[in-house]
Amino acid sequence: MLTEFAAVVACVVLAWLLAWSARRALTGEGQMPVLFGRRLLDGVLFPVLLLLLVYAAFGALKAAGIPQVLLRLALPVLISLALIRVGVKVLQAAFKQAPLVRLLERWISWLAWLTVVLWITGLLPLLLGELDSISWRVGGSRLTALDLLGGALTAGGVLIVSLWISSALEDRLLRSATGGDLSLRKAVSNAVRALLVGIGLLLGLTAVGIDLTALSVLGGAIGVGVGLGLQKLAASYVSGFVMLAERSVRIGDNVRIDGFEGRITDIKARYTIVRALSGRESVVPNEMFIGNRIENLSLTDPKVVQTTVISVGYGSDVDQVMQLLETAARQQSRVLQEPAPAAHLSNFGPDGLEFTLNYWIIDPENGQGNLRSDINLAILRALREHRIEIPYPQRVVHAVKSGV
């Protein structure tokens, strides 16, 4: 027992050193969350290395003729720990904020530890034998409950590996991408994930024992359903890939669609998230970007023009007013100097002269109302300092006195 305990301690220390060295050599902090996690012992690499080292120690002690008691108990525990870490970390990486992930994590943990308890107590072979005795015929083949359980576990394992590979590819593709390149890489990552999950699902169905040729009838039914009731859903998925492939809109663009204006923060396979400057988010089906007219405010030129209108009295110096307006806009750091702010006498109003001030900005995502307010305040201070009248609305009422 002391020899086995020393072997386990040595395996733990060696596994920690190997995982620590791999983390320093492969990546920095915060990357590869599946392998390393937030902490070194929280990832997948450490329990997998520990399992391999303990298995090697088990073989070495067996070859030396030393009885194995502690290692026989440690191996199923480490296998369960490795399976739990792989399942949980892959689900966290693939579905970062999905509420179903926490439930799946608990089910994976309960199933793994229950299997360990059944194996240690000797009940696992009896349970598997009972499941193998429960059978029924499906067509010309015999199917047992053990076959279903093994197929379900195989399908789950294949899907988890597929999600792991797709998440790693997506992280690598999107790590240094920006702008239009980000949208193109997002399309590639979505296509790769759909392909891998589809392959994993087919392999899982084959492992369960389902004949894939029988799925032709189901495929025809799905085709009819898409043609009748799922047109909008299918159109949104197809439109999402078209948008990402054509790059008509990209992540980071400022758009106006269906009266809602904001910045595109993410493009999914079915919908696009548009975030307004006020913080509100709109989930827009991708079909609307293909079938409707939208305004892309930053596709060719990120510069945006803003306008403010000011009225002054008819006795004011026109040249002085125009100079004050342009100076008030030019003093703001966010206002572009080229093209320069320009003030124009736009209208002879009923109460005074109306001037229109145009100025350009390049960062509308930082807010437009706050900049317009700052410029209006600067204009108000300048007009008051130079004693230029801002007229009030005036109305003339004529009273007619009728004689008797």
Q: How far apart are CA 60 and CA 145, in angstroms?
A: 38
Write down the pLDDT at residue 145.
Answer: 77
**Span 198-237, pLDDT tens digits:** 776 777 666 666 666 656 666 666 666 656 666 777 777 7
Nearest residue to 357 via CA among 384, 325, 333: 325
Q: How far apart are CA 118 and CA 126, in angstroms?
A: 9
**Average of per-residue pLDDT values in the chain:** 76
Determine how many CB atoms are found less than 10 A away from the CB of residue 253: 21
Q: Is the distance from CB of 106 to CB of 99 less than 8 angstroms? A: no
Enumerate the H helices of 263-317 as residue ranges: 286-291
**Span 349-396, pLDDT tens digits:** 888 899 999 999 888 767 778 888 999 999 999 999 988 888 877 677
Tokens found for residue 359: 């100025």
**Span 56-99, pLDDT tens digits:** 888 888 787 777 777 777 777 777 777 777 777 766 666 665 56
Identify the helix (H) or strand (E) that includes residue 345. Answer: strand 342-348
Q: What integer is the mean pLDDT of 175-191?
A: 59
Q: Is the pLDDT of residue 284 over 80?
A: yes
Write down the pLDDT at residue 266.
Answer: 81
Identify the helix (H) or strand (E) that includes residue 266. Answer: strand 260-267
Which residues make beta-bridge pairs with 158? Answer: none
**Span 238-249, pLDDT tens digits:** 777 777 667 777
Q: What is the dihedral of CA 368, 371, 377, 381, to 10 degrees?
A: -140
Per residue, the 3-state secondary structure of 84-113, as one string, reads: HHHHHHHHHHHCCCCCHHHHHHHHHHHHHH
Q: Is the distance from CB of 271 to CB of 249 less than 8 angstroms? A: no
Write down the pLDDT at residue 30.
Answer: 44
Return the residue matching tokens 């209006």: 376
Q: Is the distance from CB of 353 to CB of 300 less than 8 angstroms? A: no
Output the CA–CA distances (angstroms, integers) from residue 163 to 85, 87, 321, 333, in the order listed: 14, 10, 65, 47
Burial of 104 (0-12, 13-18, 19+ CB in 10 A): middle
Percentage of residues in the chain having pLDDT higher than 90: 8
Write down the pLDDT at residue 362.
Answer: 85
Which tops the pLDDT comparison, 178 or 103?
103
The CATH code that applies to domain 234-296 is 2.30.30.60
Name the residue ranges covered by the structural domains of the chain. Answer: 1-122, 234-296, 304-385
Q: Is the distance from CB of 320 to CB of 345 less than 8 angstroms? A: no
Write down the pLDDT at residue 20.
Answer: 79
CATH of 304-385, one of 3.40.50.12780, 3.40.50.720, 3.30.70.100, 3.40.50.2020: 3.30.70.100
Q: What integer is the mean pLDDT of 7-22?
A: 82
Nearest residue to 78 via CA among 105, 47, 112: 47
Q: What integer is the mean pLDDT of 33-47?
A: 68
Q: How far apart are CA 272 and CA 277, in angstroms?
A: 16
Burial of 346 (0-12, 13-18, 19+ CB in 10 A): middle
Write down the pLDDT at residue 96.
Answer: 62
Tokens found for residue 240: 């999402």
Q: How far apart are CA 251 and CA 180, in angstroms?
A: 7
Write down the pLDDT at residue 17.
Answer: 84
Write down the pLDDT at residue 29.
Answer: 45
Tokens found for residue 205: 């169905």
Q: How far apart are CA 190 and CA 176, in angstroms?
A: 17
Q: How far apart are CA 49 and CA 211, in angstroms?
A: 38
Q: Is the distance from CB of 270 to CB of 233 less than 8 angstroms? A: yes
